[in-house]
Amino acid sequence: MREARNRQDIVRRVHEEAGLDLEVVSGKEEARLICLGVLHRSPETAERLLSTLRRYAALCRRHKAQVRAVATSALREARNRQDIVRRVHEEAGLDLEVVSGKEEARLICLGVLHRSPETAERLLSTLRRYAALCRRHKAQVRAVATSALREARNRQDIVRRVHEEAGLDLEVVSGKEEARLICLGVLHRKPANARSLLVDIGGGSTEVAIATGEKPDDLWSLALGSVRLTEVFDTSRTVTPKQLRLMRGFVNEVLHKTLPEQMPALPRVALGSSGTIQAVVGFAVNDNGGNATVRQLTQSVETLASMPPERRRKRFDPRRADIIVSGAVILEGVVKHLGVDSVSIVNRGLRDGLLVDLLYRQDESRDDHSLADAALAIGQRFFFDEKHARQVARMSLALFDGLAALHQLPLSVRPHLEVAALLHDIGTAVSHERHHRHTYYLIHNADIPGLADREREIIARVARYHRRSQPELSHSGMAGLTPSEARRVRKLATLLRLANALDHSHHQPIRDFKVTHGRDIVTLHLHAKQPLDLELWNAEREVAPFRKVFGKRLAFQVHSAGR
C-alpha cells in the first residue's frame, strides 16, 4: 500500500465507506509493529531475521571481519527478544547486542548505523549552485560545515568532492569554533563590558557561550540537536509521556556530562539565536513578544508533545514541525541547567558571525589577542613553561616585525607564529624525548577557536620544526603542503627556531633586542641582563639554516645591562 500510486484515493474511500482512518505506516514502523506482535505473531518474521544473519555471519567469517551486531528499538520492545538473541547466537554464531535508546543515539550520532548517500548528493548539488552564483558575482567565499559533517564517517570524501565538483574549500569547523562564530555574529558591537549568555540549537549540536562584549570567555558544544534527538526518539509523531520523560533524562545527562557543575555568575536572561529557538519561544508566548520564561517553555514542551503531528504542521513550517518537540526539550533542559529566568530571541547567528570574521581578518589594524589567549589556555592545560613560552613568542614576533621586508609574509600569519611559539613545547607533557612530534599531534588535534583546519595544520607544522630536523621541502614532515604553504612553514619555523635558541636556558636572559639588516647581513643587537653563552652557542647553529632560507648572513651583537 505504501508504494501504490492511488494510495490517497484508497485511504479516502476506506474512511468514507468503512468509517476507518487507515494509516499507511512506514517501513520502520511496520518492522516495529511486527516485532511488538501488533500486526501478527508470525514465526516467519524471526526466521527471516535468522536466515539473513546466518548469511551475513558466513560472509564475515570468510573475510575474517571484526563484527559488532546490534539491534535497536524493534527488538528492544519485542516480547520474545531473549529467545531471538539466544537463537541468533546458536544458529548464526553472533552475539546480538540489544542496545539501549541512549546507545542507539550515540551510534546514530557517529554514523555507525546509517548514512544516506542521497544526503551527500543533495549537499553537492546545492553547493554547486551556490558556487556558480558566487563566481558570477565575484564574491569572497568562506564555506563551513558544522556538526552533521563533523561526525560523518565520509567527511573527507565529501570535502574532496566539494572541492572537485563545486570548486569550494569546505572547512569543517570544530564545535568551539562554531560557538565562537555564532557568538561573534550575535554579539557584534556589544559594549565591551557587557556580559552575555548565548544558546544556539542546531540540527546536530547545541552551542553555549558566555561572553564579555563580543569576546567569548567560555565555549561549549553539546552533542544535542533537534534533528538528532528527533531521529533517536522518533518525535515527529505524537510523543507519549514515557517518551518525553526519556528525552528529558537523556538531555539532562548530556548537559551534566558536558557543562561544568560550577558555572560563573551568569546573566539572568539567555540569548537564543537559532530558528528552532525562535519557533519555540514564539509558540511559548503565542507570538506576543520575543522573551519566554522557563515556566512558559516547560508548558510549551508539554503542549507540543501532546499535539498531533497534523496540528504541528499547520502551526509551524513543515520542515520545522517534525523537530520542534526535540528543540523545545533541549531548550528547556539548557535553561534549567543554567539557572536563567528567561530566553530572548535574536535574529543573528552563524552566517552573521562568518561575515564579521571575514571583515576582522581583513582589518590588519585590529588588535585581537583571542588566539594568543586560547593558546595560553591550552598550554596551561599541559603545564607548559609559561615564562619561556611567552619569551619565545615575544622574540618570534619581534623577528617577524623586524624582518618583514625580508620574509614578505602577509601580516595575517603573524598570529599563527605567535600560537606556534606559545605552544612549541607542549609535547613535553607526553614525553621530553621527541617532544616536537608530540607537539605537532597535540596542536593538530586541538580545538582552537578562531582557526580554520588548514591554519591549525600550518601552525602545528611550524611548532613541530622548532627543533631537530630542518623544514626542508624533502623532509617527510612537509608532505601534503602546497608550495606556498611549504614556503610559509619554512620561514616561520626558521624564525621560531632562532627565538627558541635565544632562550635555550629557559631563564629569559635577553631583556630586548633590535634587528638591523644590510645588503647581505642581518644583525641582532641583544640587550642582555645576564651572560648569554648557552643562548649564543645554540643560536650559532641556526646561522646556516637562516642563510639558506632568507639568503643573508646572521650576526649577533651583545649589549650587557647598564651599557
646561522: which residue's cell?
Answer: 543
What span, in angstroms and rounded, lies between the C-alpha atoms of 216 and 373?
11
Quote the pLDDT of residue 9.
80
Quote the pLDDT of residue 329.
97
DSSP secondary structure of 195-223: EEEEEEE-SS-EEEEEEETTEEEEEEEES
Check residue 264 and report its DSSP letter.
P
| Claim: this prediction has a pTM higher than 0.75 | no
What span, in angstroms and rounded, lies between the C-alpha atoms of 412 and 371?
12
Quote the pLDDT of residue 445.
92
156-178 CB burial, b ≥16 within 10 A, e <16: eebbebbeeebebebbbbbbbbb
Closest CA to 294 of 339, 346, 345: 339
Dihedral angle sign, alpha carbons of residues 105, 109, 111, 112: negative
CA 397 and chain centroid, separation: 29
Give the three-class secondary structure for 347.
coil
User: At 481, which amino acid appears?
Assistant: L
506 in the Ramachandran plot: left (φ > 0), alpha (ψ -120 to 50) or beta?
A: left
232-264 CB burial, b ≥16 within 10 A, e <16: bbebbeebeeebbebbbebbeebbeebeeeeee
Quote the pLDDT of residue 2.
67
The residues facing 292 across adjacent strands are 343
Say if CB 287 and CB 300 are below 8 A apart: no
Grid cell at residue 255: 548537559
Closest CA to 191 of 210, 211, 209: 211
The four Cα atoms 457, 460, 461, 464 give a dihedral, to 10 degrees, of -160
Say if CB 403 and CB 473 are below 8 A apart: no
State which H helix or E strand residue 172 sits in: strand 170-172
Contacts within 8 Å (CB) and 24+ apart, 425-429: 425/384, 425/385, 425/388, 425/389, 425/466, 426/378, 426/379, 426/382, 426/384, 428/382, 428/384, 429/382, 429/383, 429/384
Quote the pLDDT of residue 41.
43
Give the three-class secondary structure for 523.
strand
Grid cell at residue 161: 568532492
Quote the pLDDT of residue 352.
94
pLDDT values of the chain reduced to their tens digit, one per residue, 563 residues: 766 777 788 878 887 888 788 888 776 566 556 555 533 445 677 777 888 888 888 878 877 777 878 887 677 777 788 888 899 899 888 888 887 765 665 555 444 334 467 777 888 899 999 999 999 999 989 899 988 888 888 888 999 999 999 999 999 998 888 899 999 999 998 998 999 999 999 998 999 999 999 889 999 999 899 998 998 888 878 899 999 999 999 999 999 999 988 888 899 999 999 999 999 999 999 988 899 999 999 999 999 999 999 999 899 987 789 999 999 999 999 999 999 999 999 999 999 999 999 888 887 667 677 899 999 999 999 999 999 999 999 999 999 999 999 999 999 899 999 999 999 999 999 999 999 999 999 999 998 888 888 899 999 999 999 999 999 999 999 999 999 999 999 999 999 999 999 999 999 999 999 999 888 999 999 999 999 999 999 999 999 999 999 999 999 999 976 54
What span, in angstroms and rounded, lies between the C-alpha atoms of 443 and 366?
25
Provide the strand spans (E) within 281-335.
Answer: 291-293
Quote the pLDDT of residue 236.
79
Quote the pLDDT of residue 489.
98
Rg over CA atoms, the chain = 30
Closest CA to 174 of 151, 140, 208: 151
What span, in angstroms and rounded, lies between the C-alpha atoms of 401 and 364?
13
What span, in angstroms and rounded, lies between the C-alpha atoms of 87 and 132?
56
